[in-house]
Structures are given as structure tokens and as C-alpha cells.
């Protein structure tokens, strides 16, 4: 996919999810969540190269982006196409997190680990078409199935079947109506 078509896809995704988005120029200049996703594409590419010092550069750049946007995405995290981070502030996406295509993430969301010092996959996998409400915490090496919705401030520590709605602390999944 060309850079231009990817940019157009991103802009359309924001317009689709945010009725307040008035146009492409506003999104390009004023949407910190989009800036964080675009920067992640660069830091992720740096992280995956074999050039000496590239991982350090990727981490350093990701921290600069965090200070500017309020969104922290580890360079090793995997983001799919058309991921939208709405409002952005306070979003944290951990190192081994995998976020699928067409995922909408609201502010204050954490895709984090549960236990420090564990090697391997420590963060969640979010399948395609998931919506994660403001302040939700999705923790540990779990999978949130495609088309699910995580309610605001839910704490999710168990796998979520596709097409579910999760609410509460701890999060309880039920079929999406």
C-alpha cells in the first residue's frame, strides 16, 4: 500500500469514527492520536531494522512522541490498518500488544501487562473492529475477539469472545446485541 493511500485510509477512518472531524487538514494538523499512530509507523520500522542503535533511536523517538501527544506506543507493538485513537491523551500500548485493523481506542486506555519480568507475549491482542471505551484497561496476554466493544473503565483480564460487550471491574463479557 502506498503512503498516499494509507494516509487517505487513515483520514477516512477518523472521519468515520469522529463526527467532530471537519476535514482532512484539521485531522492532519490537530489530531494527536493520529500523529501518534503515524509516528509509531516510523518507530516500528526503526525497531525492526538491524542497524546498530536503531532500537535506541526508536525508543527515544517514541518517548518524544509521548511527550508531545500524550500517547505512548512501544515501537515493538503491532498496529493494524485504520487504527484510530480518539482524543489520545493517556493511551498506553505495550511492547507485545497487537492491535488489529479498524480498531477505535478512546482516551485513557491501557493495553498493558499484568506481571513484570515475564518473557514472551505479555500484552493483549485486539482483533479487528473492536471499540475500546475511555479509561479501559485490557491487561495481560489475552485476546479480544473481532467486533467486540470494551466499555468505559472496564478492566479486562480474560479472553473476550468475538462480538461481545465487556463492562465492569472485573470485566464481564456478554453477547453484543
For the chain, give the number of residues.
177
Q: In sequence order, what are the beta bridge partners of 125?
A: 98, 143
Report the CATH number of the 3-175 domain. 2.160.10.10
DSSP run (H or E) holding 57: helix 54-69
pLDDT truncated to tens, each residue of the chain (177 aa)?
A: 788 888 899 999 999 998 888 889 999 999 999 999 999 999 999 999 989 999 999 999 999 999 999 999 999 999 999 999 998 899 999 999 999 999 999 999 999 998 777 778 999 999 999 999 999 999 999 999 999 999 999 999 999 999 999 999 998 889 987
Amino acid at each position: 500500500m502506498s503512503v498516499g493511500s494509507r494516509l487517505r485510509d487513515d483520514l477516512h477512518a477518523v472521519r468515520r469514527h469522529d463526527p467532530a472531524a471537519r476535514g482532512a487538514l484539521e485531522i492532519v494538523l490537530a489530531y494527536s492520536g493520529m500523529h501518534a499512530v503515524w509516528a509509531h509507523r516510523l518507530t516500528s520500522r526503526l525497531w525492526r531494522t538491524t542497524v546498530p542503535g536503531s532500537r535506541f533511536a526508536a525508543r527515544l523517538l517514541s518517548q518524544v512522541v509521548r511527550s508531545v501527544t500524550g500517547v505512548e506506543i512501544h515501537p515493538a507493538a503491532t498496529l493494524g490498518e485504520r487504527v484510530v485513537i480518539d482524543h489520545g491523551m493517556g493511551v498506553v500500548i505495550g511492547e507485545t500488544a497487537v492491535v488489529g485493523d479498524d480498531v477505535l481506542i478512546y482516551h485513557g486506555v491501557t493495553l498493558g501487562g499484568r506481571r513484570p519480568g515475564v518473557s514472551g507475549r505479555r500484552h493483549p491482542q485486539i482483533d479487528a473492529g473492536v471499540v475500546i471505551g475511555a479509561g479501559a484497561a485490557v491487561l495481560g496476554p489475552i485476546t479480544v475477539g473481532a467486533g467486540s466493544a470494551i466499555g468505559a473503565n472496564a478492566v479486562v483480564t480474560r479472553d473476550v469472545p468475538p462480538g461481545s460487550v465487556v463492562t465492569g471491574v472485573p470485566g464481564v463479557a456478554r453477547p453484543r446485541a
